[in-house]
Structure 1
Amino acid sequence: MALAVTSSSSTAISGSSFSRSGASSESKALQICSIRLSDRTHLSQRRYSLKPLSVESHSRNESWVSRASTLIAHEVEEKEGEVEDFEQLAKKLEDASPLEIMDKALERFGDEIAIAFSGAEDVALIEYARLTGKPFRVFSLDTGRLNPETYRLFDAVEKQYGIRIEYMFPDAVEVQALVRNKGLFSFYEDGHQECCRVRKVRPLRRALKGLKAWITGQRKDQSPGTRSEIPIVQVDPVFEGLDGGVGSLVKWNPLANVEGSDVWNFLRTMDVPVNALHAQGYVSIGCEPCTRPVLPGQHEREGRWWWEDAKAKECGLHKGNIKEEDGAADSKPAAVQEIFESNNVVALSRGGVENLMKLENRKEAWLVVLYAPWCPFCQAMEASYIELAEKLAGKGVKVAKFRADGEQKEFAKQELQLGSFPTILLFPKSAPRAIKYPSEHRDVDSLMTFVNLLR
C-alpha cells in the first residue's frame, strides 16, 4: 500500500512497495534477545479498533453552508473511551519485550502501519520487525540537510534487509520561501522550530495521513526532562491518520522502557548497519548543521541544537509526548502552558468576542477557535491551526483564539455554540451569525476549504 498523501507536493510518496523481512529462525531470535514469549501474559485478540470520530454523515451534494450550521453531537466521553482502550493495552504491555511489542503492532495493523526510521538507533526497530517474520514498511524524512554518513546508512539498510525506504521530502516552495526570507542558517538566531516545522513536521504529517499507526524509536531515557512518560502504545495526541480526525492514528513506542546501552548491546549482537557518525562521538543524530558530537558525561540530546536552552531540544515530531521539566503536567488550566502562540493568531478577550458578534458588516472574515490549553484535542490541532494562520495572513481572514474554559465556559456555551473543546467558528464578512465548523477533521486542507467556501 502506498502512503496516501493529501498534498500537491511533487515529492509525495506513491507506489511504495512493502518491506518484507527475511527468513529467520524464531528460536534464534528468542535465544539472542533472551525473550520467552510463552512466559508473557496472554493478551486478548480483541482489536482495540478506533471508531471514526468524523461527523460527516451528510451526502456529498449537500451544501457546506447547511453542514456548517449543524451542531457536533459527539460527547467527550466517547473520545476518552478510545484513549482508555489503548491506555489499558499499554499497561498490559508495560513489561513486554520490544520484540513482543513489535509483533503485536504489526499483527494488529498489517500494511497500515510503518516504522519511522531516522537513520540512528532506529535500525533496531527494523531488526525487531525482521525477527517477527511479518511484512513491514519503513519510511524516513529526508530534510535535505542530513549528513553524508546518514544517507550511506539508508543505502546499507535497504541492501541489508532487501527493502525500499519510503522517503518523505519537505515542500520545495516552503523551503525556498524560508531560505530566501531568512537565510540558510536562521535557526542559529531565532530557534530551530520554524525550520523543523517546514523540513520535518509537515512532511511527517503528510506521511502519517496515509497510515493508521506508526512505530517510533522514542525512549524515556533519551530526554528524562521531556520524554519520561512515553507510553508503549497510545492514540497519537498530535497527528491524524488515514481516517482523519482526532483518534485516527495510533503510535507505538516499543523501545520506551529500554535504556540506550541495551539498544546498543542489541545492535552489536545482531551485527546490523549503524551510522558511522556514532564512532565519532555522535549519539543523537539529526540534520548536519544542528548536530555535533557529545563529550564524555554529556547527555545524548546535548549534541542537538546545542546553542539553545535544554528545554527546547525537541523538533516537534513527538510534541504529544513532551512534558514540562518540573514534573507531570498539571491538569489545572492555570498551570498549563499557553497554546496557539503565533504572530498570526489574535488572542481575543471576552470583550473582543462580544464586539465581533455585534458587527454585521465586517471588513474581514474571522476564524476563531474556542479552546482550553489543557485540552489534549486542542493541543493536537495546534500545529494545523498555526499553519492555517500563516497561509491566511494578508488574505482577508483574521485567525483568532478565545480561551473558553473556566469562568468563560458558560458564556461560550450560551453565546458561542460551545459543545466540546475545541470548537471552531467562522464569522463571515456579511453574515451576522457565526458558523460552526461541523467536522472532526482539523487538518489544514479541511479547515481551508471551510473558510474559502463560507467567508
Structure 2
Amino acid sequence: MASATAAISGSISSHSLLDRDLKSAQIGNLATGVKFRESSLRKRWAVNVMEPGKRNDSVAAASAVADLAAVVEEKARALEKEVEVADYEKTAVELQNASPLEIMDRALAEFGNEIAIAFSGAEDVALIEYARLTGRPFRVFSLDTGRLNPETYRYFDEVERHYNIHIEYMFPDAVEVQALVRTKGLFSFYEDGHQECCRVRKVRPLRRALKGLRAWITGQRKDQSPGTRAHIPVVQVDPSFEGLDGGAGSLIKWNPVANVDGKDVWNFLRTMEVPVNSLHTQGYVSIGCEPCTRPVLPGQHEREGRWWWEDAKAKECGLHKGNISEDELQKAGVNGNGAASMNSVNGTTDIFKSQDVVSLSRPGIENLLKLENRQDPWLVVLYAPWCRFCQAMEGSYVELAEKFSGSGIKVAKFRADGDQKPFAQQELQLGSFPTILFFPRRASRPIKYPSEKRDVDSLLAFIDALR
C-alpha cells in the first residue's frame, strides 16, 4: 500500500511539474512573440513618422503595439497564476503526511517576514508554539473586534509575555462600527444574521492585514467543521483574499494543523506547557466574540458554540469563506458568510446581496445600455454566483456599494451566466467572470475595468478616474 501511495504521489508530482514547465514555456513563447511583433510594429511606426503621408498609419501602429502588449501581459499573468496554483497543489501533496512543525518550518522559510500567524486567542496558540520550535523569526496578528471576552484580552497579554512577542492587532474602522451600531443597535445579528457585523468587525480588518502580506498561517482543522472544512489542504492559493501584489492568486494560505485532530492539538499544548485561554476551563472550545460564543454541552460539536441561533452546517464568519463549496452552499441553503440564503436564482445561491447593490434584470441592463444621457453613473458587475473569483470579491463590492450609498453613484449587479451569457458577451464586453463595467453620465458606451485587482481602493481609483 505504501509503495502504491508513493507511486500515486510521484505521478501527481510529475504531472504537476510537467504542467508547470509547459505553462512556463508558454509564458516564454508569449513574451518572445510580443517582442517580435512589437519590434515589427515599431519599425513600421518609425518609417511612417518620417513620411508625412503615413502619419495615420504611425498612430495605428503605435496603438496596435500598446494593445498587443496589454493582451499578452494579461495572458502571461493568467498563465503565471496557473503555474503558481499547480506548484502549491504539488506542495500540498508533498506535505500531506508532514507534521505541523515541518509545515510551519517550510512556510516560514519560504516567506520570511512576509508571512504572519493569525491568532484568535483559542487553541490556535499551538501555531505560535510550532513557530517558536522552528527557531525562525515569526510574526503574529490578531483581530480585535471590540466584542471579545475579558478573558481573551487578558490571554493576549499572557501570550505576548510568554513568547516575548508583540501581537499585531487589527481593529475595525470606527466610523463603520459607529454607523452599524447607531443604525441597527448592538445586537442586530441575533435578528438578521452575523454576516454584516462580522464583515465590519472581522473581514474588512483581516483584508487590510493580508494586503501587507504574501502568505498567512491559520489554525483551521478538518475536524473543526465537517460542513465547511473537511477538505482544506495544508497549503493553498487563498481563494478569498488578496495579498501584497493584489489580484486573485496573490496570497498563499498555510494550514499546518489541517490534518490534526483536536484532541491531539490539546495533547501537544499540555505536553509543551503552553498557556491557554481560561475560557476553555468553562466549557468553551471554539472562541470568538462574547455575544456570539457560548460553552458547548457534552457531546456537542465545538462549532455549535458559535452563532448557535443560525444554521449549524455553515459556521463561517467570512474569514474562511472559500472553504464552502457551491454544492455545500446549496445543500445548506446558506450564503458565503454563513447566513441562511434569502435569495436564489435558478436554484443557485446568489451573491452580492445587499440593499445597496441594485439587482438588474435583462430589460433593466438593456435600458441602461440605451441611455445616452444618464443622470447618474453606474458601476455594474457581470457575475456568476458559482464563480470563485466573483465570490472572492463579494466583500469588497458590497463595501464599495455601502460607501457610495446616497452619493449618486449606483452600484449594481447582473447575473450573466447561463442563457444571458451570449447577450453579455456580445453587448456587455463579457470575457470572463467577473467583468466590471462603469457607465459614465452622459456617455453611451460603458467602460470595462481592466485590472484583476478588485479590492475597494483599486475600484475607487477606477471610478474616480472616470467620473
TM-score w.r.t. length of structure 2:
0.79
Residues of 1 paired with 2:420 and 2:285: CA distance?
47
The correspondence of residues 7-156 of structure 1 with structure 2, limited to 5 A, is 74-75=74-75, 79-156=81-158
Residues of 1 paired with 2:419 and 2:190: CA distance?
41
The letter for the 2-side match of 1:399 is: V
Residues of 2 paired with 1:138 and 1:262: CA distance?
23
Residues of 2 paired with 1:265 and 1:291: CA distance?
24
The correspondence of residues 227-238 of structure 1 with structure 2, limited to 5 A, is 227-238=229-240
Q: Secondary structure at the match of 1:310?
A: coil
The change in CA–CA distance for 1:352 and 1:81 in structure 2 (over 3 A counts) is: farther
Residues of 2 paired with 1:238 and 1:71: CA distance?
25
Deviation at 1:257, TM superposition (A): 0.8
Q: Residue 410 of structure 2 corresponds to which residue in structure 1? A: 398
Q: Residue 157 of structure 1 corresponds to which residue in structure 2? A: 159
Partner residue of 2:429 out of 410, 414, 417? 417
Residues of 1 paired with 2:394 and 2:404: CA distance?
15
Contact persistence 1:302–1:310 (CA under 8 A): yes
Deviation at 1:397, TM superposition (A): 1.3
Q: Residue 241 of structure 1 corresponds to which residue in structure 2? A: 243
The letter for the 2-side match of 1:436 is: K
Matched, 1:269 2:271: yes
CA deviations over 1:28-48 (Å, ceiling 9, x no partner): xxxxxxxxxxxx99x99x9x9
Partner residue of 1:428 out of 440, 454, 461? 440
Deviation at 1:336, TM superposition (A): 4.3
Contact persistence 1:72–1:419 (CA under 8 A): no
CA deviations over 1:215-260 (Å, ceiling 9, x no partner): 0000111110111111111111111111111111110011111110
The correspondence of residues 323-402 of structure 1 with structure 2, limited to 5 A, is 323=325, 324=328, 326=331, 336-402=348-414
The change in CA–CA distance for 1:367 and 1:221 in structure 2 (over 3 A counts) is: same
Residues of 1 paired with 2:410 and 2:133: CA distance?
53
Residues of 2 paired with 1:401 and 1:290: CA distance?
31
CA deviations over 1:98-149 (Å, ceiling 9, x no partner): 1111011001100000000000011100000011111100000011111111
Deviation at 1:178, TM superposition (A): 1.0
Q: Secondary structure at the match of 2:175?
A: helix
How many residue pairs end up in the alignment? 392
The correspondence of residues 175-324 of structure 1 with structure 2, limited to 5 A, is 175-323=177-325, 324=328
CA deviations over 1:387-426 (Å, ceiling 9, x no partner): 1111111111111112222232222222211222111100
Deviation at 1:72, TM superposition (A): 9.1
Q: Secondary structure at the match of 2:412?
A: strand
The change in CA–CA distance for 1:78 and 1:376 in structure 2 (over 3 A counts) is: farther
Residues of 1 paired with 2:72 and 2:405: CA distance?
28
Q: Residue 27 of structure 1 corresponds to which residue in structure 2? A: none
Work out the percentage of aligned pairs sharing the same amino acid.
76
Residues of 2 paired with 1:438 and 1:361: CA distance?
24
Residues of 2 paired with 1:183 and 1:411: CA distance?
44
Partner residue of 2:419 out of 407, 411, 428? 407
Residues of 1 paired with 2:163 and 2:279: CA distance?
21
Q: Residue 454 of structure 1 corresponds to which residue in structure 2? A: 466
- Cα RMSD (Å): 2.5
Contact persistence 2:228–2:314 (CA under 8 A): no
The letter for the 2-side match of 1:308 is: E
Residues of 2 paired with 1:71 and 1:361: CA distance?
31
TM-score w.r.t. length of structure 1:
0.81
The change in CA–CA distance for 1:134 and 1:168 in structure 2 (over 3 A counts) is: same
Residues of 1 paired with 2:398 and 2:177: CA distance?
17
Contact persistence 2:383–2:414 (CA under 8 A): yes
CA deviations over 1:407-454 (Å, ceiling 9, x no partner): 322222222112221111001111111101111111011111211221
Residues of 2 paired with 1:299 and 1:424: CA distance?
41
Deviation at 1:80, TM superposition (A): 3.5
Residues of 1 paired with 2:245 and 2:80: CA distance?
17
Residues of 2 paired with 1:82 and 1:260: CA distance?
31
Deviation at 1:312, TM superposition (A): 4.5
Contact persistence 1:71–1:436 (CA under 8 A): no
The letter for the 2-side match of 1:359 is: L
Contact persistence 1:208–1:242 (CA under 8 A): yes
Residues of 2 paired with 1:335 and 1:95: CA distance?
38
Deviates more, 1:216-225 or 1:343-352: 343-352
Q: Secondary structure at the match of 2:169?
A: strand
Residues of 2 paired with 1:78 and 1:109: CA distance?
18
Residues of 1 paired with 2:375 and 2:72: CA distance?
29
The letter for the 2-side match of 1:278 is: H
Matched, 1:438 2:450: yes
The letter for the 2-side match of 1:249 is: L
Unaligned 5+ runs, structure 1: 1-39, 52-65
Larger radius of gyration: 2
Residues of 1 paired with 2:285 and 2:271: CA distance?
19
Contact persistence 1:143–1:169 (CA under 8 A): yes
